[in-house]
């Protein structure tokens, strides 16, 4: 009776466990296996190359450049995008009209797909017929007109700004939820004690928001470093590798040059970098909290 | 002495600036979409010259052409089919597992649950490489089933987490009553637990639906045949083939974005809830 009941309980998790094993655990193990082989994905035989793929990665200039470029986009997302998100949340947290309307609008970019956002912005930023250049000319700034996405000087920053446009709504919602958990009485008490708006912001809002900011920071780093579909839709990684990011390189190793082993080794290298980065951020945030 | 009027004027001025700031960002959020719709109504001749947001003539036939000639009709139905199948699959598989993790006892329970949670935290960039190999081996590549199973797996961990959290907080009395009435475990899950979980099921449905509808990279590596592709991949393929067909492309983009925006407007409450809850997970 007891055994039958336990078996019955297993049946509940069985479908989830089967799907998870086949589509998550097996591929997970294969990444680590394939990384030591040279394989085109079709041939029945794979060539064992030991650490060969990893050694090649160390010398792969485009690969490391793609990581720096993802880092640059992430830096813009961490500063510009999150500062904007926080300011908007702070403005919406006051007793203000149309609060729900703003919240509704700010989360529209995040629900759209990266393909849609990328292709629409690519059209707006088009060098010859784009809306942005048209506006710049009409407003009297013709010297600012450029091929935003095909000029190596502007391509990466432009991509980063569109990425921030698409992403700030997430931070906004999380910051707003965080701000709303701060009890109003705290502000009241501070006001009674003679604190002005800036003081109560610095002494109440900021310290209480640090954990939330850390959370948003970690989510931003992990999300932005791995972003690539938006870039495929906007530039495809060009001009001349100027907007390449790591996941795009992995996809290119697999689909472009049919090097499955190398692609897996790149995946592992990048995964390790991500874990290290979020660990550092976590440690820093802990220290920052201690100083509060 | 500063009067009440002084403070009132000051407050109004501050609020005015805040609204200006919020409104300008809101406009930035909206105008690309308006431009997308405006461009989709122009013709191949006018689109490169006519810079107006409200074109003089509205060429709705672009939508018909995108749907038929561009082939987006087929891809739209594909996206709809994949999204519905994956969401139904996730609801059943994830709620069964979440219910067991919350209410039933069996050896290894915590290990299994930890496994799902770990999958939520550990990033594997490029996991599509081995998935491609695996689906090839199973002869599931280029099939709808292969894509649906992959996407069920993608949404599984978060959905199990959300549902388990809800079941943990749910009072047990109703389930006890059903058990005394002779209801089986499966019966309780279906007749008692699932109906009670409607609010969190709504979050799970909306999030997974958005996720599947917007998914790109797995669909890219799984489907070679255009008749099987969902919209996102078909849009990129179309853009690659007809680089300057902007009106049709913009019509295709509008067709892709519209269902998402409609779902979002109606289900906004659940999305806000999901984001704030999901953030706590991370």
Give contacts of B30 with chain A, Cβ < 8 Å.
105, 108
Q: What mean pLDDT value characterizes chain A?
A: 89
The answer for B 201-260 residues in CB contact with A (under 8 A) is 210, 213-214, 216-217, 221, 232, 235-236, 239, 246, 249-250, 253, 256-257, 260
User: Which domains does chain B carry?
Assistant: 70-281 (1.10.3720.10)
Domain locations in chain A as residue ranges: 61-290
Which pLDDT band holds residue A122 (cuts at 50, 70, 90)?
very high
Question: For residue B243, how far is the Cα from the chain centroid?
Answer: 28
The residues, any chain, with a CB within 8 Å of residue A83's CB and separated by 6 or more, are none
Backbone angles phi, psi at A47, to 5 degrees: -100, 120
Distance from CA of A145 to the nearest CA of B (A): 16
Q: Residue A290: is its pLDDT beyond 90? A: no
The answer to whether A192 contacts chain B (CB < 8 Å) is no
**Fold exhibited by the domain A61-290:** MetI-like fold (1.10.3720)
- Interface contact A218-B282, CB threshold 8 A: yes
| Terminal C-alpha separation, chain A | 57
Query: Could you count the other beta carbons within 10 Å of the beta carbon of residue A124?
Result: 20
Strand partners, A37: A48
- Interface contact A10-B106, CB threshold 8 A: yes
How far apart CA A218 and CA A82 sit, in angstroms, is: 11
The answer for A 68-107 residues in CB contact with B (under 8 A) is 84, 87-88, 91-92, 94, 96-98, 101-107
More confident site: A12 or A42: A12
Residue identified by tokens 């004690």 is A193
Q: How big is chain B by its Cα radius of gyration, in Å? A: 24
Give contacts of B18 with chain A, Cβ < 8 Å.
91, 94, 96
Taking only the tens place, the pLDDT of each residue in A64-107 is 999 999 999 999 999 999 999 999 998 888 777 888 899 999 99
Each residue's pLDDT, cut to its tens digit, for chain B (282 residues) gives 566 788 788 888 888 888 999 999 999 999 999 999 999 998 888 888 888 888 888 888 889 988 888 888 999 999 999 999 999 999 999 999 999 999 888 888 899 999 999 888 777 888 899 999 999 999 999 999 999 999 999 999 999 999 999 999 888 888 888 888 888 888 989 988 899 999 899 989 999 999 999 999 999 999 998 889 999 999 999 888 887 788 999 999 999 999 999 999 988 888 887 777 766 554
ipTM for the complex shown: 0.90
Q: Residue A228: is its pLDDT beyond 90? A: yes
- What pLDDT, on the 0 to 100 scale, is given for residue B69? 82
Which pLDDT band holds residue A210 (cuts at 50, 70, 90)?
confident
- What pLDDT, on the 0 to 100 scale, is given for residue A115? 95
CB-closest option in B101, B124, B271 to A31: B124
């Amino acid at each position: 009776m007891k055994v039958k009941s336990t078996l019955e309980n297993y049946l509940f998790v069985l479908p989830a466990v089967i799907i998870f094993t086949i589509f998550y655990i097996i591929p997970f193990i294969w990444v680590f296996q394939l990384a030591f082989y040279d394989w085109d994905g079709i041939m029945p035989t794979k060539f064992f190359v030991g650490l060969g793929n990893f050694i090649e990665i160390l010398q792969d200039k485009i690969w490391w450049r793609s990581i720096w470029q993802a880092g640059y986009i992430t830096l813009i997302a961490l500063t510009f995008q999150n500062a904007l998100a926080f300011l908007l949340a702070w403005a919406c947290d006051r007793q203000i009209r149309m609060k729900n309307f703003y919240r509704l609008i700010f989360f529209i970019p995040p629900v759209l797909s990266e393909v849609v956002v990328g292709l629409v912005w690519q059209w707006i930023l088009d060098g010859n017929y784009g809306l942005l250049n048209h506006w710049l000319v009409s407003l009297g700034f013709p010297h600012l007109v450029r091929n935003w996405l095909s000029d190596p000087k502007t391509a990466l920053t432009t991509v980063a700004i569109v990425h921030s446009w698409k992403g700030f709504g997430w931070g906004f919602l999380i910051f707003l939820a965080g701000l709303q958990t701060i009890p109003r009485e705290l502000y009241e008490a501070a006001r009674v004690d003679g604190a002005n708006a800036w003081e109560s912001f610095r002494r109440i809002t900021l310290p209480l928001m640090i954990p939330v900011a850390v959370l948003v920071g970690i989510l931003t780093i992990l999300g932005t470093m791995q972003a690539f579909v938006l870039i495929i839709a906007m530039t495809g990684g060009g001009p001349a590798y100027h907007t390449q990011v790591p996941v795009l390189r992995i996809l290119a190793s697999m689909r472009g040059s049919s090097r499955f082993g190398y692609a897996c080794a790149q995946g592992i290298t990048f995964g390790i970098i991500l874990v290290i980065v979020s660990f550092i951020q976590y440690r820093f945030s802990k220290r920052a909290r201690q100083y509060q | 002495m500063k009067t009440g009027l002084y403070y009132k004027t000051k407050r109004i001025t501050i609020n005015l600036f805040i609204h200006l700031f919020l409104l300008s960002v809101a406009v930035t959020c909206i105008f690309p979409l308006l431009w997308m719709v405006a461009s989709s109504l122009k013709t191949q001749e006018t689109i490169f010259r006519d810079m107006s947001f409200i074109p003089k003539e509205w060429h709705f036939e672009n939508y018909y052409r995108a749907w038929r000639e561009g082939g987006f009709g087929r891809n739209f139905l594909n996206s709809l089919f994949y999204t519905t199948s994956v969401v139904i699959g996730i609801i059943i598989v994830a709620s069964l597992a979440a219910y067991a993790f919350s209410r039933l006892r069996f050896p290894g329970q915590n290990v299994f649950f930890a496994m799902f949670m770990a999958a939520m935290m550990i990033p594997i960039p490029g996991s599509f490489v081995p998935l491609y190999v695996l689906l090839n081996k199973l002869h599931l590549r280029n099939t709808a089933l292969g894509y649906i199973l992959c996407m069920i797996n993608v949404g599984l961990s978060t959905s199990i987490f959300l549902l388990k959290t809800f079941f943990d907080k749910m009072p047990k009395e109703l389930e006890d009553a059903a058990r005394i009435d002779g209801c089986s475990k499966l019966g309780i899950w279906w007749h008692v637990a699932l109906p009670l979980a409607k609010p969190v099921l709504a979050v799970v449905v909306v999030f997974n639906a958005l996720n599947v509808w917007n998914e790109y990279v797995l669909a890219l590596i799984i489907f070679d045949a255009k008749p099987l592709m969902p919209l996102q991949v078909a849009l990129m393929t179309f853009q690659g083939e007809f680089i300057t067909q902007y009106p049709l492309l913009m019509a295709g983009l509008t067709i892709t974005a519209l269902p998402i925006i409609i779902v979002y407007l109606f289900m906004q409450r659940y999305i806000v809830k999901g984001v704030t809850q999901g953030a706590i997970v991370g």
